[in-house]
Copies of this chain bind each other. A is one copy, B any other.
Amino acid sequence: MNYPLEIIAPSNYVLATAEAENAPIVLAGVLLSLIVIYLASKLGGELSRMLDFPPVLGELVGGVVVGASALHLLVFPESGATASDSMLMTVLQFFDDVSPEAINSIFESQSEAVSILAELGVIVLLFEIGLESDLRELQKVGSQAAVVAVVGVVAPFIAGTAGLMFLFNVPVIPAIFAGAALTATSIGITSKVLSELGHLKSQEGQIIVGAAVIDDVLGIIVLAVVASLAKTGEVDVFNVVYLIISASAFLIGSILLGKFFNKSFVFTAELFQTRGNIVIPAFIFALFMSFVANAIHLEAILGAFAAGLVLDETDKRNELDEQVIPIADILVPIFFVSVGAKVDLSVLNPVVPENRQGLILAVFLIVVAIIGKVITGWSVFGKPGINRLAIGVGMVPRGEVGLVFAGIGAASGALDKPLQAAIIIMVILTTFIAPPLLRFAFGDAPQDAVEEADAAS
C-alpha cells in the first residue's frame, strides 16, 4: 500500500527509517523513469529503423534526448546531478509534498535502482549474446580474435599516446591515459548491432565478439597499469599479474566447469515442473558467473557471456532462447537509454574556450580511434575473402567502457579539462558512428539474415 505520510515498520522492531517512509515515492520515481526509458527506447528505436539505421542507435539517441543533454528527465548523481536537476523529481514533487532533504535521498535511491536495472540489462544482453554465439565457432576463430584484440589495443594506444606527446606537447601521464581510453571496445553496443543486422553468427560476427571479449579483459589490465601509474608513478606488477592469471583462469575454468554444469542444468530443468523451470536455473547460473567475474575484479558481463556460451551447448537451448528474449526486451533498453542519458553533449559547445581546445584534441583522438581499430580487420590471417572492413568497424565503438576510462582519469586528476572533454567527445562519436558504419560495411544484409531479424522482432 501507499502511505506517504506514515512510517512503515513491522512489529517488534522499533527502527522506522527514512528509507521506508519514502519507499512509495521512490517506487513512483522508478516507475516514471521506466516509462521515460521505454518511451525513449521505442520511439528512438523505431525512428532509427525507419531511417534504415540499427535500432540501438535510436535507443542511444533517445537516451541523449531524455538525459543530461536535453530534457533532464533521466539524470544520475554520479554525473554530479542533484534532485533539482531532475525533471522527474519536479514531477514527483507535484504529486507528493516532499521536504528538500527527502527529495535528495529519493533521487539517489531512484537513480541507484535504475542503475542496477541497467546493469542487470547489460548482464542479460551479454547472456543472450552468449546464447546466440557458438562456442565451437568461437574457438575456431579464437586465434584471429586474439590478434584483432591485441592489434586493436596496441595500435591506438601507441598512436594516441605518441601523437598527443609529440604533436600536442601533452605530458606523458595524461597522454598515456588518453591512449589507454582509445583501447576500449564496447561489447554491448557492437554485439547488439551485429544481432540486429543478423550478422552475429557470421564468421565476421564471431571474430568481432571474441575480440571484444578479449579486448575487455585487456582493457581491464591496461587500466590497472595506467591507474597505478597515475597514482604512484610506477606499475603495480603484482596486480597486473593477478589480473592476467585470474582472467585466464576464469575464461578457461568457466568453459571446463560448463561441461559439467550443462548436464546438471538439463537434469534440473527436466526434474523441475513448476513455472520458470528452465529460465530460473539458467539465471541462477548466469548471475553466479557474473558474481564470480565481479568478485575477481573482472566485469560482471564477462561472466554472463560465459554462462550463455555454456548453456548454448545444451538440448534446452531453443526453449531457453525463446524465454530469454522477452526478459531481454524489458531489461536491455534500460542499459542503452542510460548510456545515452549519461552523455552530456555540452562538451561539444564551441562557445566555451576549454571546449574549443578539447575539440581540436578530439579531432585527433577520433581519427586515431577509428583508424586504430579499422586496421585490425587487416590483421586477420588465414581467412581469405572475409569482410575485413566490417571486423575493423565492429571494434570502433567505445561506449560505456570508454566513459569509465574517462571517469577514472578525471577522478585521479591525471587529465585536464580539455583532454577530458576530448576523450568524452571521442567516446560519443565512435559510439554513435559505429552502428551506421557497421551497417554500411556489411553492405545490404543477406536475405536470410533479414528474415531472421524480422522473425526475432
Q: Scoring A residues 1 to 41 as 1 if CB is less than 8 Å from chain B, else 0, what string do you get?
A: 11110111111111111011001101110111011001101
The reply to whether B12 and A280 form a contact with Cβ atoms under 8 Å apart is: no
Known A-B contacts A16-B411, A35-B284, A299-B2; A10 and B403 likewise in contact (beta carbons under 8 Å) = yes
Contact of A80 among B14, B55, B287 (CB under 8 A): B14
Residues of B within 8 A of A327 (CB): 326-327, 330
The reply to whether A298 and B2 form a contact with Cβ atoms under 8 Å apart is: yes
Residues of B within 8 A of A6 (CB): 227, 408, 411-412
Main DSSP-derived SS at the A contact region:
helix
The reply to whether A77 and B1 form a contact with Cβ atoms under 8 Å apart is: no
Known A-B contacts A46-B272, A109-B112, A115-B23; A10 and B407 likewise in contact (beta carbons under 8 Å) = yes
The reply to whether B45 and A274 form a contact with Cβ atoms under 8 Å apart is: yes
**A86 is an interface residue with CB less than 8 A from chain B:** no
**A333 is an interface residue with CB less than 8 A from chain B:** yes
The reply to whether A223 and B113 form a contact with Cβ atoms under 8 Å apart is: no
Complex Cα–Cα for A10 and B402 (A) = 10
Residues of B within 8 A of A248 (CB): none
**A264 is an interface residue with CB less than 8 A from chain B:** no
Closest to A82 in B: B15
A437-457 interface with B by 8 A CB criterion: 454, 456-457
Closest to A41 in B: B280
Contact of A300 among B13, B31, B227, B271 (CB under 8 A): B31
The stretch of A153-161, A253-261, A373-381, A416-424 that contacts the partner chain:
A416-424
Q: Scoring A residues 284 to 310 as 1 if CB is less than 8 Å from chain B, else 0, what string do you get?
A: 100110110111011110000000000
Contact of A284 among B39, B55, B220, B283 (CB under 8 A): B39
Residues of B within 8 A of A3 (CB): 223, 227, 297, 404, 408
**A324 is an interface residue with CB less than 8 A from chain B:** yes
A47-74 interface with B by 8 A CB criterion: 49, 55
The reply to whether A12 and B49 form a contact with Cβ atoms under 8 Å apart is: no
The reply to whether A274 and B38 form a contact with Cβ atoms under 8 Å apart is: no
Complex Cα–Cα for A224 and B323 (A) = 42
The reply to whether B407 and A288 form a contact with Cβ atoms under 8 Å apart is: no
The reply to whether B276 and A42 form a contact with Cβ atoms under 8 Å apart is: yes
Residues of B within 8 A of A408 (CB): 3, 6-8
Known A-B contacts A2-B297, A2-B300, A3-B223; A38 and B112 likewise in contact (beta carbons under 8 Å) = no
Within the complex, what minimum Cβ distance (angstroms) separates A192 from chain B? 10
A-B pairs with the 4 shortest C-beta distances? A276-B329, A13-B80, A7-B411, A323-B326
Residue contacts A-B, CB under 8 angstroms, 17 given: A1-B216, A1-B223, A2-B294, A6-B412, A9-B78, A10-B344, A10-B403, A13-B410, A14-B80, A17-B77, A17-B78, A20-B78, A23-B78, A27-B119, A41-B280, A46-B274, A116-B116
Q: Other than the known A12-B344, A16-B78, A38-B284, what 12 A-B pairs have Cβ atoms closer than 8 Å?
A: A3-B404, A13-B79, A17-B77, A30-B120, A31-B294, A32-B291, A46-B271, A113-B116, A276-B329, A280-B329, A280-B333, A327-B330
